[in-house]
Structure 1
């Protein structure tokens, strides 16, 4: 058995992703693909104040477990398709999910969603039958 340091070094380098970004999922309309918006803060050259720029990346989500609003880490990988160079690393912060009475799941609070629930809760607390 001979020790080959180059082989271990190569394994360590191959295991670590070259790039990784943190961003918010803004789209899940494609099969096994998520659209991630990554913010980048730069100092404006003239005003000398921080300005946030954004770039969107397509990432591979094999199990389709992300929803719009999740904060995720994406890692670079070998090119999967024309625009996909990243895979889903981890879900850092899952999005809030709201379930209506008919079973419809919303990932982001839309206007009007939950209004009925608040009214029903107020009726229960105050003991009012009609309102």
Structure 2
């Protein structure tokens, strides 16, 4: 099964080698037929502490780094 790749915005970089990424998704509600926005925060591994709050990043699934970290930052949107 392929690893999921998500893109979002860094909302916190206070922890060592960790960033919190807010990923927003849009979908049509099955009953109301209205576009709904939902968001979720993922904690991702940032080995070099190079990403700051406001950066657009892509994250990929990986083996667990800790209790809450199961994602890893792949690239910056500006680089891609």
Query: TM-score under structure 2 normalisation?
Result: 0.91
When the two structures are aligned, how many residues end up with a matched partner? 79
1:29 aligns with 2:24: no
Deviations 1:46-76 (A, max 9, x none): 3211111001000000000001000000011
Gaps of 5+ in 2: none
Q: Aligned match of 2:42 in 29, 52, 57?
A: 57
Larger relative contact order, structure 1 or 2 (CA cutoff 8 Å, min sep 6): 2
TM-score by length of 1: 0.57
Residue in 2 that maps onto 1:80: 65
Partner of 1:7 in structure 2? none
Compare CA radii of gyration and give the structure with the larger one.
1
More strand by share: 2
Runs of 4+ off more than 2 Å: none
Structure 1 match to 2:23: 38
Structure 1 unaligned runs (5+)?
Answer: 1-12, 95-131
